[in-house]
Each structure stands twice: as C-alpha cells, then as structure tokens.
Amino acid sequence: MNKAMSPRQLKILNYLTDSNKSRAEIEELLLKDYAVSKITVVRDLSELIEQGFIQQQGLGPSTYYSITNKPTNLPIYNLDEYFKTDVDKRNIRGSHFETNLINEIDNFFNPEELNEIEISRNVFKNIMSKRNSTDIKKELERFIIELSWKSSKIEGNTYTLLDTENLIKNNIEAPNNSKEESQMILNHKYAFDYILKNLDNFKGFSGQNLKQIHSLIVKDLNIQTDYRLHSVGIAGTKYLPLDNKYQIEDAIKMLDMKLKDIESPFIKAFATLVFISYIQPFADGNKRTARILSNSILIANNYYPLSYRSVDEIEYKKALIIFYEQFNISYFKKTFLNQYQFSMTNYFKS
C-alpha cells in the first residue's frame, strides 16, 4: 500500500505536471512555503520514486525528475485552484487525443477496489432474484426518471425532477420548457427501454451498440447520427478531440479491442463512460450516450446502474476536464465510485 502523500510531496507532483524539473528547481519551489533542507527534499523525491509516481533521469547537474504514471490515480490537484486559472493560461499535458491512454485502462482500478465491487454485484444479483417483476419494473421506472433528469441536467436541460416524472409517466410536457428539452429527456427513456429489451447484446462494448444508443439519444433533435466529419471544441478546455471520421473510427476500434481483453465488466463500463466522452465521436450527444451505454454494460452484467442523481454537474465536468488536460483519472473515478455507492443505497434495496 502506498504511503499517504505529504503536502510537500503533493506540491512536488503538481509542479512536475507542467514539465520536468531539476532538484534545484524543486527545492526552490518548496522553500517558498516550507523550511526544508536538501536532505528533506532528497527524501521526498526518493519516496516518490520508490512508490512509482516519479522517475529520475540524468546524472549530476543534469539530473531531472518527471511524472511516470499516465493516467495517474493520484489526486494531485485542488480542482478549485486549478480552475481559477483561465482556460487559455493553463499548462496542460493533453491538448489532443492521446492514444496510449487506452492502454492504461487495466490500471484504473486495483484488485481491492474490484473485490469490493464484486461483493456488491453478488448482493444486487441476490436482491433481483428475490424481487417480483412488478416491483422490478416499478423501481426501474423510478431509476430511469432520475437518470433521464440528471443526465439531461448535466447537459444544461432545465427540467425539474418532478416535471421529468410527469413527462415520462404521463407524457405531459412542462409549460415553461422547450420541445427540445422534453425530447432530450424522453430519448433517455427510449434508449434505456431498448437496452432492457436487448440486455444480452450489451454485456460488453461495441461500435454497433455505440451508434445504436446514440441514434436513440439524439432522436428528433436534428443531430447527425454517424461519426462526425469535422472538428469540435469542448467548452471550458483547450483539449481538442480527433478531427475526422477515420481517426475516430480507428480510436473506437482500438477501444473495442482493448475492452474485449478486459475481464471485468465494471472496468468496461467505466472505460466506456470515460473514453466516449474523451473521443467525442459524434457532433453532439456524446456524454449522454456514454452514460447510457456505460449503464447498459453495468445492468447487463448484474451491477447497480448509475442515475447520477446526487452528482454536482460542475464537479462532474471538472473531473472530466482534468482527465482531458492532465491525464488524471482520479477525480472522475471518485465521481463514478461515489455514484455507484449512491445507487447501492438508494435503488433496488432488499
């Protein structure tokens, strides 16, 4: 088990995310806030090297230090401080799509985390085996309402939860909301209904499933349903996704191949959520599609699905952007695990 990071060590790691640094530069940084000796700096650096977070290269005056793990699970940013810096002034590591991140999927969760998840999976399977179809249908309806509301809200939809319930249950649109907002919410329901009728087809990731769910998510919203032919920007970040259909197709194929080699459906679900948001294969509706498709893998493999009901929309977006810009998966992983825990305690209870 890794030793807890000291504030000094976290400061060092944060400093190294900008670029490689010499020991003298690191020592100068620490002296601004701490009364440290050269021995203390050497000890901090040695511990970080021992734990695999940084590496040392060069000799003598040419020695420098750099971050080793990409993406890192180590939370080395204060998100509030990070986002105080104007988007155009941030020092970012990921201005464009980084193919090698797909190869890091195996490292997103450690065995202890996965063991805890598998225990919850067995609990869920046991609960569902004892529930009658009427109870399951009723609970799924509640879940779909809350997922449709929150997933849409993350994308700027202004429907309330109560109005969402009225729309889905009674097909009554809220008087002060647009037709597009109503359609966005209903499309979540249509997509999830389709998944529930075809669960066996959603045990893993596939490009075909991706396109099918996206077409349902953007139905009647005047959004192109095939992979985009042009570049797109993402609000709040300098990260630029792939800019043509052929690169997108290659990235999706690479993701598909990687996920076929992953044994854990839970990792498949999380990676689907992260990388469809990261690749942005469509002109619009990417994150909505990612949330639904990720959920399809969870529920098809007897894991709790995620409604995201308690997630803070801004924090959700910040956690994604810190992955885009710095390859740091820890914040989005924390969001995912927190929402999974929320589902365990709020849905399909025994």
DSSP string spanning 222-270?
T---SPPSS----TT---B---SHHHHHHHHHHHHHHHHT---HHHHHH
pLDDT value for 290: 98
CA distances from 298 to 146, 202, 278 (A): 17, 9, 20
33-37, long-range: CB < 8 A, 24+ apart = 34/8, 36/8
Are 216 and 194 a contacting pair, CB within 8 Å? yes
- DSSP-assigned beta bridge partners for residue 54: 67
CA dihedral 248, 67, 76, 153 (to 10 degrees): 0
pLDDT value for 94: 85
CA dihedral 288, 191, 346, 164 (to 10 degrees): 80
* CATH ID of 7-68, from 1.10.10.10, 3.40.50.80, 1.10.10.410, 3.40.50.1820: 1.10.10.10
Q: Does domain 99-346 fall into CATH 3.40.50.720?
A: no
Name the nearest CA neighbour of 326 among 105, 88, 69: 69
Tell me how far apart the alpha carbons of residues 171 and 9 are, in angstroms, rounded to a whole number. Answer: 55
Tell me how far apart the alpha carbons of residues 238 and 321 are, in angstroms, rounded to a whole number. Answer: 9
pLDDT value for 71: 67
pLDDT value for 301: 97
- Secondary structure element (H or E) that encloses residue 46, with its range: helix 38-50
Tell me how far apart the alpha carbons of residues 302 and 297 are, in angstroms, rounded to a whole number. Answer: 9
Question: Rg of the chain's alpha carbons, rounded to an integer?
Answer: 22
Each residue's pLDDT tens digit in the chain (350 positions)? Answer: 345 678 898 889 888 877 789 989 999 999 998 988 989 999 999 999 988 788 998 887 788 998 875 567 777 777 888 899 999 988 888 899 999 899 999 989 989 999 999 999 999 999 999 999 999 999 999 999 999 999 999 999 999 999 999 999 999 999 999 999 999 999 999 999 999 999 999 999 999 999 999 999 999 999 999 999 999 999 999 999 999 999 999 999 999 999 999 999 999 999 999 999 999 999 999 999 999 999 999 999 999 999 999 999 999 999 999 999 988 999 999 999 999 999 999 999 87
Q: Which three-class secondary structure state does DSSP give residue 56?
A: strand
**DSSP state letters, 63-120:** -EEEE--SSB-S----HHHHTTS-GGG---S-SB--GGGGGGGGGSS-HHHHHHHHHH
Domain positions in the chain: 7-68, 99-346
pTM: 0.87
